[in-house]
Amino acid sequence: MGTISNRISELGTENAFVVLNEVKQMQARGIEVLNFCIGQPDFCTPENICNAAKAAIDACKHGYTPSNGIPELRKAAAGMFSETRNVAVAPEDVVIACGGKPFIWYSIYALTDHGQGDEVIYPNPGFPIYQSMIKGLGAVPVPLYLRESNHLNFTVDDLRKAISPRTRMLILNSPHNPTGSVLSRSELEAIAEICIENDIWVYSDEVYSRISFDAPFESIASVPGMLERTVMVDCASKTYSMTGWRVGYMANRKLAPHITRLVTNSDSCAPYISQEAVVEAMTGDQTDIENMVARYKRRRDVFIDGFKEIPGIQCHKPGGAIYIWPNITEACKITGCRDSEEFRRRLLEEHHVACLADIHFGPRVPGEGQHVRFSCASAAVEIREGLERINAFIRKHM
């Protein structure tokens, strides 16, 4: 029997799907679980987008496309990036892929050399695939801690300390998963100054760009001097409730031909039918999208107001994305849970409420206590019921 490589053995995963499997097993046994563990929008894909896909099927658009995407979608994406980020993006700067996630490894592959000690700075807590892909591609992951004292962001001093002569790329995610934090214009300008000074690429994960509640979305690419060194990435999954359609898009003039070659070597191209649907999503009526964002904001507020009434929980109000990141340090003490993972496990087993623990998003930040993540991708009535169950779980131990 052949051996398995160390590289694949050490590759991480996305624990949201591990917990989701636990939820599915409980539901299969007839247990009613309130599921807040995964960022899966509960809205149907808007009808006009579905109709565009049906038209593509009827038009026999079933085959391969250019690896960088159909011209119509690259043009639409270039227009979207240009308008929403206040930058100049041309269709030839854009590449389409099977969702936003592949661009993480495409970019690390293109900008670091395997086993040479090249470093990539990434937010922690953060989307777990960042660290997984950095390690898997033979680079060195350098965590940039997000702290509650800084509104769940990092400081400029933190960034400066994380940089070394081996730093090749900084990953930014704003609005952020899992904390919902948002980088302000002044913060982006300070970050940009450091990146230019140290000649560092920025991977700007902007998949929640349309889900910004309290201030307009800002991209670091719009800061002077940053467009050429920023890999802007967005996708259809969260914005248009199209997670299973698997279409993402990136923009960077220098990297576009190289990433196109990586698409050719991996997926060949994104699904033709899905690409046609996303053209309609970008260029068609946006009313459904605006309504979805408004409902996400109301759900956020239900969570925040509800946590104020539950002992042992403190929570920053997220400025965007679809997640809540409460501090449960005192709640762990009240319930006798040794940490956030035991808290989330017992909450699921005893009160049938599913969430994720902070350790599912990287090593716990030193000195920051215990946290869990709840997704807002559930109706407000389910959120209120979930809050009642959480309250009951904690109060029964007081």
Q: Which CATH fold topology does 63-283 show?
A: Aspartate Aminotransferase; domain 2 (3.40.640)
H or E element that contains 81 = helix 71-85
**Looking at residues 194-210, what average pLDDT do you find?**
98
Instruction: Determine the pLDDT at residue 40.
Output: 84
> Nearest 5°: phi and psi at 313?
-125, 130
Q: Residue 165 class from Cβ within 10 Å (0-12 exposed, 13-18 middle, 19+ buried)?
A: exposed
pLDDT confidence of residue 1:
73
pLDDT in tens, 229-266: 999 999 999 999 999 999 999 999 999 999 999 999 99
pLDDT at residue 23, rounded to an integer: 84
Residue 57's pLDDT band (cuts 50, 70, 90): very high
Q: How far is CA 326 from CA 100, 299, 320, 323, in A?
A: 27, 15, 15, 10
At 152, is the secondary structure helix, strand, or coil? Answer: coil
Tens-place pLDDT, residues 333-383: 999 999 999 999 999 999 999 999 999 999 999 999 999 999 999 999 999
d(CA 35, CA 311) in angstroms, rounded, equals 22
| Tokens representing residue 140 in the block | 């060195």
Choices 3.90.940.20, 3.40.50.300, 3.90.1150.10, 3.60.15.10: CATH for 6-44+288-395: 3.90.1150.10
Chain center to CA of 268: 24
Spatial neighbors of 313 by CB under 8 A, at least 6 apart, are 307, 326, 327, 328, 330, 331, 390, 394
Q: Cα Rg for the chain, rounded, in angstroms? A: 21
Q: Is 35 exposed, middle or buried (0-12, 13-18, 19+ CB in 10 A)?
A: buried
- Give me the torsion for CA of 291, 281, 103, 15, rounded to 10°: 40
pLDDT at 33: 93
Question: Which of 178, 236, 318 shows the shortest CA–CA distance to 41?
Answer: 236
**pTM (two decimals):** 0.95
Domain ranges of the chain: 6-44+288-395, 63-283
Per-residue pLDDT, 394: 98
Fold match between 6-44+288-395 and 63-283?
no
3 state DSSP class of 381: helix
